[in-house]
Amino acid sequence: MAINFPLRTALAVSKILEEFDVEEQPGTMLENRFPNIKIIESGVKQLKSEEHCIFTEDGSQYIYEKLCLCAGAKPKLICEGNPYVLGIRDTDSAQEFQKQLTKAKRVMIIGNGGIALELAYEIEGCEVVWAIKDKAIGNTFFDAGAAEFLTSKLISEKPEAKIAHKRTRYTTKGMKKEARTKADNVGSALGPDWHEGLTLKGTKEFSHNIHIETMCEVKKIYVQEEFRILKKKSLAFSRDHHNKSVKPDKEMWPVYVELTNEKIYGCDFIVSATGVTPNIEPFVHGNKFDLGEDGGLKVDDHMHTSLPDIYAAGDICTACWQLSPVWQQMRLWTQARQMGWYAAKCMTTDSLGDSIDMDFSFELFAHVTKFFNYKVVLLGKYNAQGLGPDHELMLRCTKGQEYIKVIMQNGRMMGAVLIGETDLEETFENLILNQMDLSSYGEDLLDPNIDIEDYFD
């Protein structure tokens, strides 16, 4: 199975936020650097928790004292077994996507999460039809205002290519082909900036060309022959999202997608980016794990599952401790890293018979990423999750430069969305953590003429 390793160099943006500057290395480098680490390149066939034993697909078995399950999550494909439907979950499937894209004139993206957002912006030389079930893009991360701010960037001309980031991805070079076939999940997790280094370019000579269909989902998928027999009609590509009189498409496509708004589009292939589900197989077979409502393995505040000596971290688990008022679990790469690091500390202290306090990173939800080449920082209850109707919003927006949203409740800052180079993340992080009463400051909190960083230093 794929093993996620810690990245080499972390740059602290604030107490909790981190950005990474790392480079690609083979997995054997870890074994050479740390003699106590042994990497096993095989899928897991079975877990026998009562015997403290793991069986792998290459026929081996391993006895453990303590075990941490970090198998991540798998994509929720809109259609299983369809060769024209591709789910991007790891480096291997990302490379397969790149290969398919080099021959494509049009692709269809289904979904509205992080991968869908990145693909919609990064794909070049290919028409993109993007279908989302919400009113605006990025509903997982943004409100309608932030979505509108980003949409203007999406439909404008792209700048020259950026200098690639250097981030470490530990690979499995030299792995036997038969082992790679057996372990179909051997690709390393995507992590941040997963598309860096991939050429996401289709067959056409233009930057990007995108059409967005909102408030719809996939109704049915047709292959070309089925579509022809049924004498269905598909729509031609249009960059005008509000155009009601779209022309019929004269071109034949390998696959067609009928949406719940009754529109049909043809394309070369479909990217299913509709979220993930915890990858709990094959661990649950024959083992009495307690599962969360989202299908993850329940873990307590020390990352213990319901079974003795078994821990879990990252996308595979569901946090079931008393959560901080400004933290929520989201299946994001940053949280997986934090959970993995904390789980390792918990396993070590348990082995020594010591105790450990809950890690500080779980006090405040904090995530930094990039969408459409904008720096994006999400803090606390950034979308007012679970706050009820008595919260207030404060906004500041400079078109093409920055978008700032602050969520206030009872005079205290509960969350924030920062898009662009705002330099406010550390100040807002502290204000959310300290829960200072900010009622007297009112709109001055977001006044661009006031240096709020120095004010609360």
Check the CA dihedral 257-263-268-270 and report its sign: negative
HEC per residue, 330-393 = CCCHHHHHHHHHHHHHHHHHHHHCCCCCCCHHHCCCEEEEEECCEEEEEEECCCCCCCCCCEEE
Answer yes or no: is 100 within a domain: yes
Domain containing residue 450: CATH number: 3.30.390.30
* pLDDT at position 257: 97
What is the tens place of the pLDDT at every residue in 313-329? 999 999 999 999 999 99
Domain containing residue 95: CATH number: 3.50.50.60
Answer yes or no: is 312 within a domain: no
Higher pLDDT, 19 or 296: 296
Residue position matching structure tokens 């890690």 = 359
Which of 257, 272, 287 is the last residue in one of the domains? 272
Higher pLDDT, 381 or 369: 381
Question: Which residues, 6+ apart, have CB-to-CB distance to 149 below 8 Å?
Answer: 397, 399, 403, 419
pTM over 0.75? The answer is yes
- DSSP H/E element including 295: none
Residues 104 and 252 in one domain: yes
Residues 135 and 259 in one domain: yes
Which of 272, 290, 319 is the last residue in one of the domains? 272
CB contact at 8 A, 31 and 23: no
**318: nearest Cα among 341, 295, 298, 289:** 298
Per mean pLDDT, which range of 132-136, 177-181, 265-269, 430-434 is the poorest? Answer: 177-181
* pLDDT at position 454: 66
Give the pLDDT band (50/70/90) at residue 342: very high
DSSP 8-state secondary structure symbol assigned to residue 103: T
Average pLDDT of the residues in 392-412: 93
* pLDDT at position 455: 63
Q: What is the DSSP code string of 124-140?
A: BSSEEEEE-SSSSTTTT
Answer yes or no: is 142 within a domain: yes
* pLDDT at position 81: 86
What is the tens place of the pLDDT at every residue in 106-148? 999 999 988 899 888 888 889 999 999 999 999 888 888 899 9
The pairing of strands 366-371 and 402-409 is unpaired
**385: nearest Cα among 325, 344, 428, 332:** 325
Residues 256 and 377 in one domain: no
* pLDDT at position 166: 40
Residues 116 and 244 in one domain: yes
Residues 256 and 119 in one domain: yes
HEC per residue, 399-442 = CCCEEEEEEEECCEEEEEEEECCCCCHHHHHHHHHHCCCCHHHH
Answer yes or no: is 71 within a domain: no
In one-letter notation, the amino acid at residue 335 is: Q
Domain that holds residue 113: 77-158+207-272
Beta-strand (E) ranges in 121-204?
127-131, 170-171
Residues 267 and 379 in one domain: no
What is the tens place of the pLDDT at every residue in 3-12? 444 444 445 5
Answer yes or no: is 310 within a domain: no
How many domains does one find in the chain? 2
What is the tens place of the pLDDT at every residue in 51-91? 999 999 999 999 999 999 999 998 888 988 899 998 886 65
Residues 106 and 237 in one domain: yes
Distance of alpha carbon 171 from alpha carbon 188, whole angstroms: 7
Give the pLDDT band (50/70/90) at residue 2: very low
Give the bridge partners for 127, in sequence order: 106, 209
Per mean pLDDT, which range of 195-204, 217-226, 355-364, 365-374 is the poorest? Answer: 195-204
Residues 131 and 267 in one domain: yes
CB contact at 8 A, 250 and 259: no
Q: In angstroms, how far is CA 330 from the centroid of its own chain?
A: 9
In one-letter notation, the amino acid at residue 441 is: Y
Residues 246 and 389 in one domain: no
Answer yes or no: is 131 within a domain: yes
Average pLDDT of the residues in 336-344: 94
Answer yes or no: is 439 within a domain: yes
Answer yes or no: is 304 within a domain: no
Question: Which residues, 6+ apart, have CB-to-CB distance to 407 below 8 Å?
Answer: 380, 381, 382, 383, 384, 387, 391, 392, 393, 413, 414, 415, 416
Residues 381 and 265 in one domain: no
Distance of alpha carbon 415 from alpha carbon 409, whole angstroms: 10
Higher pLDDT, 310 or 126: 310
Which of 225, 250, 272 is the last residue in one of the domains? 272
CB contact at 8 A, 168 and 10: no
Mean confidence (pLDDT) of the chain:
84
